[in-house]
Amino acid sequence: MCNLAQICVNEYIANACKGEEKMVQLDLEKLNKEYSDKSPEDIVRFVVENIGIEKVALASSLSIEDQVLTDILLKINPKVRVFFLDTGRHFQQTYDLMEETMHRYGFHYEVYAPESKELEQAVSKYGPNFFYESVELRKKCCEIRKVNPLKRVLSTVDAWICGLRREQSLTRQELNIFEWDGLHSIYKINPIVFWSEDRVWEYIKKYNIPYNSLYSKGFRSIGCQPCTRAVRPGEDVRSGRWWWEDPDKKECGLHARVGQV
């Protein structure tokens, strides 16, 4: 863990101690070594037991990775928080999967949507498809529909769990299991960060986990409908997301780090 991140953690904890609640302090460097060869179940169980069920939440986009983690988390504790960012532009297949997953596990997602006034102003000013006009406007759309709603939910937790994997893209190759999210001043946990896509599918098939039907049509990373397309064999997993942009910059802002634009 770098010195800057440690300083951020220490400052946040010091400030939290002044109030009624105190964030659990984790030694990230030690934990990343200790859990490097542990199962996602072991990682998730540690996080839930040490941080607390109400202070941990899984961010689900209904991807195969998030479906795996939803299965793992709900088996460990059926009261775990799982949230979904409803941008209003998802595929119908994504909403169908959301419904199916809720029935399968007998739970409800926490749903967060864009602020109506902010979205209304942007669409009125730029048009309904303004995200195609420039990278700047695409990021603005992501900010309104995803980043700002994310901030609301993350303000209620001390750690969030994500289905990120190093193999997914150039922007994710240095991720670790346990991280400090300096943008939101909370911990970020990536239990399957070292898994391959094949390993994710093995879990899906082994436990008969429901997944988005678009995967059977060439989609490998599924986001909003206007910004997602199927990929050709041999292409990068996320090459179908914002395909008109440079691959080393294709993030929506949900997983940006301190210092990144």
Active site residues: 252
Report helix, strand or coil for 54: helix
Helix or strand (DSSP H, E) at 187: strand 186-189
Q: Compute, in degrees rounded to 10, the torsion defined by CA atoms 217, 255, 43, 182.
A: 180
Q: Are 7 and 28 in contact (CB under 8 A)?
A: no
Which neighbouring-strand residues pair with 112?
A: 85
- How many angstroms separate the CA atoms of 186 and 209, rounded? 29
Sign, CA dihedral 249-255-259-261, equals: positive
Dihedrals φ, ψ of 72, to 5°? -65, -50
